[in-house]
């Protein structure tokens, strides 16, 4: 099999519905980051990475409760072996995305390249427990080890689609990299390429296991690379919420060309276009969701309601909201400013700060460093409703 079996790698130029979506996504994504102070964005990014991990794993049928993810990031693991393995898997996902978010320029480029996808697979899988690095042949029951970062050495079937044989993987991935090299594409086509690459990567299926997670991390990196993505939103939430359509459209785009009007490649162009449309609509929906969720006025309102309730119940000291609001608006609060800020003595101010730090509503690099807003799991449902499924 040659790489022409995966053509066309991109929908035809001039596909108005995709170009309009790409334009809207580029515009609205750029507006999202401007809503929050840069320091606050860093805190929200950690929360969103955990959310991204939750939904990405959910697509794979692995349900890890947000609290278990939170505990895993603090190296607090369950005594139950299966639950602990899922915690380690979640932590692996968060750590790899954190590297992508913070050090993309240091990683293999472009993001749609064998070097990057192999790095992503290797970094994710090497953090997994051995129990999650084994796949079972459904026909023979043979258990096969997954080697981190290594292209598969076996042929695999995905429903009706039989992926390229192992000896053809390198030329397929070379063509994949060439097709989605951003330097060869206009900005609009770069955005569309993220969607198309997501499918074609899964069609090639270069690794024995872990392709779905690598594809979603690759898509995230590609969006970052072209200046559209950010750590403040995740397409995985939208894909998981519409997982039936996601998987249906992925399979439809595996199909061969339907007729002479269905593109000039071996695979259906119209089906690829429909998948790209779904993917870009999902991205746009998630950007809009996070923009609404992070609207400063509404976020302040939800924070205030939460703090008032906690103060009334005696679980937070009086005047807590003043400090938290200041941290939201200015990013960092010098400890020496707190007494004046809440009109209290230094001793009272220290007590209030200590309680807020203990509840992780404020965080700091040291006991003398400025205070920043924290986002503990306990406040997520009140401050960021619908970020996770109810309950």
pLDDT (tens digit, 9 = 90+) per residue, 28-63? Answer: 998 898 889 999 999 999 999 999 999 999 999 999
Count how many domains the chain has. Answer: 2
267 with 332, same domain: the answer is no
CA 193, CA 209: separation in Å to the nearest integer?
Answer: 24
CA 309 to chain centre: 32
Whether 178 shows a pLDDT value over 70: the answer reads: yes
Spatial CA neighbour of 194 closest among 106, 288, 280, 281: 280
CA 60, CA 110: separation in Å to the nearest integer?
Answer: 26
Query: What is the H or E stretch that residue 136 is in?
Result: strand 134-136
244 with 347, same domain: the answer is no
pLDDT tens-digit profile of 220-257? 999 999 999 999 999 999 999 999 999 999 999 999 99
pLDDT tens-digit profile of 57-79? 999 999 999 999 999 999 999 99
14, part of any domain = no
Alpha carbon dihedral 279, 285, 289, 290, in 10-degree steps, equals 50
pTM of the predicted model as reported, rounded to 2 decimal places: 0.94
260, part of any domain = yes
Rg of the chain (C-alpha set): 23
316 with 355, same domain: the answer is yes
301 with 261, same domain: the answer is no
**In the predicted model, what is the mean pLDDT of the chain?**
95
244 with 309, same domain: the answer is no
For residue 233 the two structure tokens come to 């939103």
Q: Which residues contact 362 (CB under 8 A, 6 or more apart)?
A: 323, 324, 327, 353, 356, 371, 372, 373, 374
Name the residue range of residue 326's domain: 296-382
284 with 155, same domain: the answer is yes
pLDDT (average), residues 84-111: 95
Confidence of residue 391 (pLDDT cuts 50, 70, 90): low
pLDDT tens-digit profile of 133-143? 999 887 788 89
Given a contact cutoff of 8 angstroms between Cβ atoms, the answer to whether 123 and 96 are in contact is yes
CATH number at residue 211: 1.10.3290.10
234 with 355, same domain: the answer is no
Spatial CA neighbour of 244 closest among 44, 59, 31, 13: 59
Mark which of 247, 262, 293 sits at the end of a domain. 293
277 with 314, same domain: the answer is no
Tell me the β-bridge partners of 158: 161
273 with 161, same domain: the answer is yes
Mark which of 293, 321, 343 sits at the end of a domain. 293
**Buried (b) or exposed (e) across 51-68, using 16+ Cβ within 10 A?**
bbbbbbbbbeeeebbbeb
> Residue 132: what are its φ and ψ, rounded to 5°?
-100, 10
pLDDT tens-digit profile of 371-384? 999 999 999 999 99
First to last CA, the chain: 48
Task: Report the 3 state secondary structure along 196-221.
Answer: HHHHHHHHHCCCCCCHHHHHHHHHHH
390, part of any domain = no
């Amino acid at each position: 099999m040659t790489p022409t079996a995966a053509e066309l790698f991109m929908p035809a130029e001039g596909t108005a519905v995709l170009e309009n979506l790409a334009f809207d996504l580029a515009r609205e994504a750029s507006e999202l980051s401007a809503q929050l102070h840069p320091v606050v964005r860093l805190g929200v990014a950690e929360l969103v990475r955990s959310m991204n991990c939750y939904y990405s794993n959910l697509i794979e049928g692995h349900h890890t409760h947000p609290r278990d993810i939170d505990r895993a990031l603090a190296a607090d693991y369950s005594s139950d072996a299966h639950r602990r393995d899922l915690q380690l898997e979640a932590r692996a996902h968060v750590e790899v995305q954190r590297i992508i978010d913070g050090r993309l320029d240091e990683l293999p480029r472009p993001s749609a390249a064998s070097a990057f996808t192999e790095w992503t697979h290797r970094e994710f899988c090497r953090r997994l427990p051995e129990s999650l690095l084994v796949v079972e042949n459904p026909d023979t029951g043979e258990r096969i080890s997954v080697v981190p970062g290594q292209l598969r050495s076996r042929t695999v079937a995905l429903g009706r689609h039989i992926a390229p044989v192992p000896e053809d993987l390198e030329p397929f991935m070379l063509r994949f990299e060439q097709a989605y090299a951003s330097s060869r594409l206009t900005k609009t086509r770069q955005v569309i390429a993220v969607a198309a690459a997501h499918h074609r990567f899964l069609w090639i299926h270069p690794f024995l296991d872990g392709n779905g997670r690598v594809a979603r991390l690759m898509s995230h990196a590609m969006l970052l690379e072209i200046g559209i993505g950010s750590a403040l939103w995740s397409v995985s939430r939208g894909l998981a919420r519409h997982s039936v359509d996601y998987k249906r459209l992925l399979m439809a785009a595996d199909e061969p060309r339907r007729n002479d009007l269905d593109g000039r490649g071996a695979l259906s162009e119209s089906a690829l276009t429909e998948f790209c449309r779904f993917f870009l609509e999902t991205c746009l929906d998630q950007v809009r969701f996070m923009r609404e969720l992070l609207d400063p006025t509404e976020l302040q309102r939800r924070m205030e309601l939460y703090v008032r309730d906690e103060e009334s119940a005696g679980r937070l000291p009086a005047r807590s909201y003043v400090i938290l609001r200041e941290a939201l608006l200015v990013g960092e609060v010098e400890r020496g400013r707190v007494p004046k800020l809440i009109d209290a003595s230094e001793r009272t101010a220290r007590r209030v700060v200590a309680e807020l730090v203990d509840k992780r509503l404020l965080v700091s690099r040291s006991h003398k460093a400025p205070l920043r807003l924290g986002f503990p799991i306990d406040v997520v449902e009140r401050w960021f409703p619908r970020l996770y499924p109810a309950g």
